Every structure is written in structure tokens, then in C-alpha cells.
Amino acid sequence: MGRGKFKGKPTGQRRFSSAAEILAGTSAARPRSFKQKEAEYEEDIEEESEEESEEEEEESEDESDVKKKGHEALIEVDNPNRAKPKTLKARDLDASKTTELSRREREELEKQRAHERYMRLQEQGKTEQARKDLDRLALIRQQREEAAKKREEEKAARDAKKVDARK
């Protein structure tokens, strides 16, 4: 069957190996003998990794040297953005050592303490605003007492008029 002037992409003709075929060694991508070589290679890697892990334990006790790339081996570079944070173990932590607060954190703490101190003085009535509030409250109480007396007098006057009207 003719395809015409323009040929389509041959992706439909490709055959991909599944993961099961790759593991079984039956895929067309690699020969069957490769599986045996791969098993030997994995055994070699495991043996080397065991030897390296023993060596790494010894090195980790002394000092951990990271292989530097490029010019880092020649020039000591101190880039704070590139520095990787060191993970500290619980036994290495120093509980007595205190960390310094940043400027913003310090200012925030000072602000909270000042507010708490002001509120304590406010409750005790020692601040200027507290004195003004107490004076205002005293004035309002006095006005309410006078209004209550006036209402009682008016009520007594009305009662007296009613009694006189009945007679």
C-alpha cells in the first residue's frame, strides 16, 4: 500500500521493551549473556561497597573530605549560597550554646515586652492614658448618679401629684 508523497513518522513501528522483559533478559535491546555479566558486575559492586563502607566509617571518624570539582581544588571558594548545611547529631549539639537572634526577632521581642509592661502599668493606673480613663469614668459615674437622683425626685413629685389629685 502506498503512503503517498509524504511519509509519516515511523514511531508506530517501534517496539519498546517492557520492564519485565528487561529484567528477564529477553528484550531485543540486550543479549542473554548480558544478564550473567550484569549479575557478576552487581556482585563486584556489592563487595566494593562493603569495603568502601568500612573505609568510610574510618574516614568519617577522622574527617570527611568532599571531592572538589573544577577549580575548587585549586582555589578555596567560600560561597554562602552554595554551602550545604551540616546535619548535626543530637550528641554533638551543645545545649548551653545559645543562638543569637536576628535584628527583626530582637525588635519583635522588645516590642512584645514593651507592650506587656505598658499593659501592666495600664492595669495599675500609672500611665497617663489610664489616669485620663479613670477621670472620665469618675465623671460618668457622677453624671449617672445625678441623673438617677433626678429621676427619683421626678417620680416622687409625680406620685405626690397623683395623691393630691385623689384627695
Q: Is the residue at 66 inside a domain?
A: no
Q: Is the residue at 150 inside a domain?
A: yes
Both 110 and 166 in a single domain? yes
pLDDT at 10: 62
pLDDT at 40: 78
Q: Is the residue at 98 inside a domain?
A: no
Residue 152: HSE in the Cβ half-sphere, 13 Å Cα cutoff: 6
pLDDT at 155: 95
Grid coordinates representing 98? 545559645
Whether pTM > 0.85 for this model: the answer is no
pLDDT at 76: 76
Query: How many domains does the chain divide into?
Result: 2
Q: Is the residue at 137 inside a domain?
A: yes
How far is the C-alpha of 125 from the C-alpha of 112, rounded, in Å? 20
Grid coordinates representing 30? 540486550
Q: Is the residue at 39 inside a domain?
A: yes
Q: How many CB atoms lie within 10 A of CB 76?
A: 7
Residues in the chain predicted with pLDDT less than 70, given as ranges, are: 1-4, 7-15, 26-36, 52-66, 77, 83, 85, 95, 97
Both 54 and 107 in a single domain? no
3-state SS assignment for residue 67:
coil
Cβ proximity of 29 and 17 under 8 Å: yes
pLDDT at 41: 78
pLDDT at 141: 97
Q: Is the residue at 45 inside a domain?
A: yes
DSSP string, 35-93: HHHHHHHHHHHHHHHHHHHHHHHHHHHH-PPPPPPGGGGTS----TTTPPPPPPPGGG-
Longest dimension (CA), the chain: 133
pLDDT at 144: 97
The residue among 57, 77, 56 whose CA lies nearest residue 68 is: 77
pLDDT at 142: 97
How far is the C-alpha of 30 from the C-alpha of 62, rounded, in Å? 44
Q: Is the residue at 144 inside a domain?
A: yes
Q: Is the residue at 91 inside a domain?
A: no
Cβ proximity of 101 and 109 under 8 Å: yes
Q: Which residues, 6+ apart, have CB-to-CB distance to 59 below 8 Å?
A: 65
Both 110 and 164 in a single domain? yes
Segments forming the whole domain that contains residue 50:
19-58
